[in-house]
Amino acid sequence: MSVASIIERDAKILANDHYEPLSWEQCREIVQKDDMTLFTRSPQQLREYLAAKEDFKKYGGTAEYIVKYKLKWADKLQSSGKGFLEDKSDIMILQNDFPYGLEPGIRHIIVWSKVPCATDDNQRPTAATKHQIEQFIQKNIELLGVTRTNIIWFKNTVALQSVPTLEHFHILIKDAPPSIDSLIGTSGV
């Protein structure tokens, strides 16, 4: 999806106050079809997101704000030199401050990494990257009592990323237990 298409889509959302949140099944279908352009925000969420992006300009932009104030990596952006998801000092798990328009009961977190993951020519994660992410999810989320059927993960292509300069992927969790809070702001277990 081009930038112009995204702007057009967002304009349509903002022009209509009615919004149906995405169900768990719809989220699954979007990821299975590999069409992340179908993830949208509600009009209110989109207004907040666009206002925040404008506000982040005073910090140098969205990426600079996230690195300095959310990840607190401003002086520590150099990676450990190890591979993707191999060193805890290269990883941070955060709640998505501007989640997609999801029905209640779906939690949206982001895993940030100083180390890029391997992708194919279409910017999709390679089999090795998928395996690394699956292991990360198993070690960090499933061990907190979340069944695999209640977890979806995806990585947006660069064109859809708010912060294309910093590696990250999204995790959606249905009926997340309160213990998930213990992961937020950490590099996991």
Give residue 3's pLDDT. Answer: 53
Q: Where are the domains of the chain?
A: 3-183
pLDDT, one tens digit per residue, over 102-161 is 999 999 999 999 999 999 999 999 999 999 999 999 999 999 999 999 999 999 988 888
* Whole-number CA gyration radius for the chain: 16
pLDDT digits (tens, 9 = 90+) for 18-74: 889 999 999 999 999 999 999 999 999 999 999 999 999 999 999 999 999 999 998
Q: Tell me the residue ranges of DSSP E strands in 40-186.
A: 91-95, 106-113, 151-154, 167-174
* pTM reported for the whole predicted model: 0.93
Q: How confident is the model at residue 185 (pLDDT cuts 50, 70, 90)?
A: very high
